[in-house]
């Protein structure tokens, strides 16, 4: 039970050190989709605003990714030319239905980048740079969409984007290869930990058997001494029979333990 608990804690610690991943998102970036969608109204403050198509369309840049493992992530912008808004989607973004699959939206934040990322400004100040924290499921596809707070603004010229959390590579083909590679590393580390634990368990078992053999040998010798005291006045022929019986019991016990060791 203790070994199993130690194993679970150690495997969890494989994912305990967060990683900062940064990339530039524009129309020329791998896997980035640019375009426009009709939604957000006059000022995009909340998820409910995505269904408001009363204002001019908004430009956007979108990037999908797939986390290797489940964990906590922080998504943010460190710089952009506009007052930008960031939206996290479950699955790939559908510009025809901007409200579909939307999980979280952020317009303004505290201006502090996660993981020590160097912050510039998003439009006028760093506080206009959006940031979203979320717990995501490994193996699922998510999308990040960056658009403008006001309609009819340009974001296709690009934004500096970062992810802070479990290891992830932003892109398409590169990301799929990285996902497989990182999964192999985690699996290999877990197998090594399990192997080490099994070795510890073998050493513990062998030590326990050795102690048992020693205890049995001592018990046998004590039995011989006791019988020697008891049989002081017993005829020599009878003493030989008693000693032979005690020796048989001792060697039988040691033989059984030897079999267990192999």
pLDDT digits (tens, 9 = 90+) for 137-189: 988 999 999 999 999 999 989 999 999 998 765 665 444 555 555 555 556 55
Cβ atoms 132, 40 nearer than 8 A: no
pLDDT at residue 63 in the model: 93
pLDDT at residue 65 in the model: 85
DSSP 233: T
How many Cβ atoms are within 10 Å of 57's Cβ, its own excluded?
16
Instruction: Supply the pTM of this predicted model.
Output: 0.63
pLDDT at residue 17 in the model: 77
Helix (H) or strand (E) holding 132: strand 131-136
Which residue blocks in 45-126 are alpha helix, DSSP H?
none
Structure tokens at 93: 């973004």
Q: Over the chain (262 residues), what is each successive 10-residue block's mean pLDDT?
A: 40 62 87 94 96 96 89 95 97 96 97 94 97 93 96 94 80 52 55 61 65 67 59 61 56 50 50
Residue 114 and residue 3: Cα distance in Å, rounded? 36
pLDDT at residue 233 in the model: 61
């Amino acid at each position: 039970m203790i070994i199993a608990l130690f194993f679970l804690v150690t495997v969890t610690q494989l994912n305990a050190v967060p990683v900062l991943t940064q990339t530039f998102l524009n129309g020329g970036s791998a896997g980035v989709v640019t375009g426009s969608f009709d939604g957000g109204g006059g000022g995009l403050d909340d998820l409910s605003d995505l269904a408001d198509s009363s204002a001019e369309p908004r430009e956007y840049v979108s990037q999908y990714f797939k986390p290797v493992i489940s964990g906590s992530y922080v998504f943010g912008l460190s710089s952009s030319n506009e007052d930008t808004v960031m939206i996290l989607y479950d699955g790939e973004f559908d510009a025809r239905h901007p409200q579909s699959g939307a999980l979280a939206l952020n317009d303004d934040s505290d201006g502090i980048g996660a993981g020590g990322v160097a912050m510039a400004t998003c439009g006028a100040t760093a506080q206009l740079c959006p940031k979203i924290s979320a717990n995501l499921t490994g193996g699922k596809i998510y999308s990040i969409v960056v658009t403008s707070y006001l309609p009819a603004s340009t974001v296709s010229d690009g934004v500096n984007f970062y992810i802070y959390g479990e290891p992830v590579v932003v892109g398409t083909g590169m990301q799929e290869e990285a996902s497989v590679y990182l999964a192999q590393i985690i699996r290999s580390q877990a197998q090594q930990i399990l192997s080490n634990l099994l070795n510890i368990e073998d050493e513990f078992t062998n030590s326990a058997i050795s102690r048992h053999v020693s205890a049995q040998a001592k018990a046998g010798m004590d039995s011989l001494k006791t019988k020697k005291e008891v049989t002081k006045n017993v005829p020599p022929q009878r003493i030989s029979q008693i000693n032979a019986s005690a020796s048989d019991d001792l060697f039988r016990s040691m033989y059984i333990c030897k079999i267990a060791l192999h």
